[in-house]
Structure 1
Amino acid sequence: MANTIIVKLLGGRISFNVLLNKINLLWNLQCQIQLMDLENNLYLVHFQDESDYNKVVWIRLPGLPKIYYSNCLLRVIGQTIGPVVKLDVQMDCACRG
């Protein structure tokens, strides 16, 4: 489980094989992954290679005060860690629909 993440599919549903192909294309991995369909659009992704895992893992900053929830500041924090692909500033429970 050390090299495993949970992926939530947002938006519409796609087939298992389409998702697996998309992941392989987007992440450009060195080794194969194991993809397991859970439920509620959740998938378990197990990486065989730790460098692939480190390449795609997301960083969550729980407990970050709301005053830091600005695109600019979060991007600066993210760039110190590594390249920023996407910012989700709606992760605070109070901000969700």
Structure 2
Amino acid sequence: MNGVSSIKFSSRVHQLIEESMSKSIIVKLLGRRIGYSAFHNKLYALWKPSRHFRLMDLDNEYFLVRFQAIEDYTPVLAREPWVFFRKYLTVQPWRMGFDPSALLTEVMAWIRFSGLLGSLLKVIGELVGRIIKIDDNTKSESRGQFAWMAMCIDRKFILRINCIELSTSHC
């Protein structure tokens, strides 16, 4: 293609790749550079996995995390926002075609809007971005002061709020 050799893989090869990467996530610490060893140690202390995970550094300060157990993979994606060094850690499932050299335009983030009830929170949240999940306590309106929502939002927005108000319960 345009003088460059290319290889076309069968759908079976693509299926095998997806299966082998099924417990993998892409992470990036927004607003701060961190070394490989420090990042690995911090993630291990934060997530406390039952089995070791593999960490690979990618371009543009992204890291690939490959878990051995689904029991370790699922909670990392489902839990509250991950924050350390007062910076937000983006966590997203690995997907075929992920390009770490591409400019990050949208991230999944857990956002807290203080003092809002779940129904009002949803209306306001839809103005900010696409809602992925509303915390169960927020949805039931049983815990108004801890109103959390997972959303896909523009990267520029998350960088602006990064220093304003994020939970530090997982620091």
Considering the TM-score relative to the shorter chain, is it more than 0.5? yes
3-state SS in 2 of match to 1:91: strand
1:1-97 aligned at under 5 Å gives the runs 1-58=21-78, 60=108, 67-69=123-125, 77-79=134-136, 91-92=153-154, 95=157
Q: Which has the higher strand share?
A: 2
| Counterpart amino acid of residue 153 in structure 2 | M
Q: 1:68 to 1:92 in 2, by over 3 A?
A: farther
User: C-alpha separation between the residues in 2 aligned to 1:23 and 1:79?
Assistant: 25
Identity %: 34
Report the residue type matching 2:136 in the other structure. Q
**What TM-score does the superposition give when structure 1 sets the normalisation length?**
0.67
Inter-partner Cα distance in structure 2 for 1:40 and 1:94: 16
2-structure distance, mates of 1:41, 1:52: 23
Q: Matched residue of 2:59: which SS?
A: coil
Contact 2:134 2:150 in 1 (8 A): no
Unmatched 5+ stretches in structure 1: none
Letter aligned with residue 42 of structure 2: K
TM-score between both structures, scaled by the size of structure 2: 0.41
CA distance in 2, matches of 1:49, 1:95: 33
Higher relative contact order (CA 8 A, sep 6+): 1
**Residues in 1 aligned to 2:22 and 2:136: alpha-carbon distance in whole angstroms:** 25
Letter in 1 for 2:134: I
SS of the counterpart of 1:31?
Answer: coil
Q: How many residues align?
A: 86
- The structure with more radius of gyration: 2
RMSD of Structure 2 on Structure 1 (CA): 3.6
Residue 5 of structure 1: CA displacement? Answer: 0.5
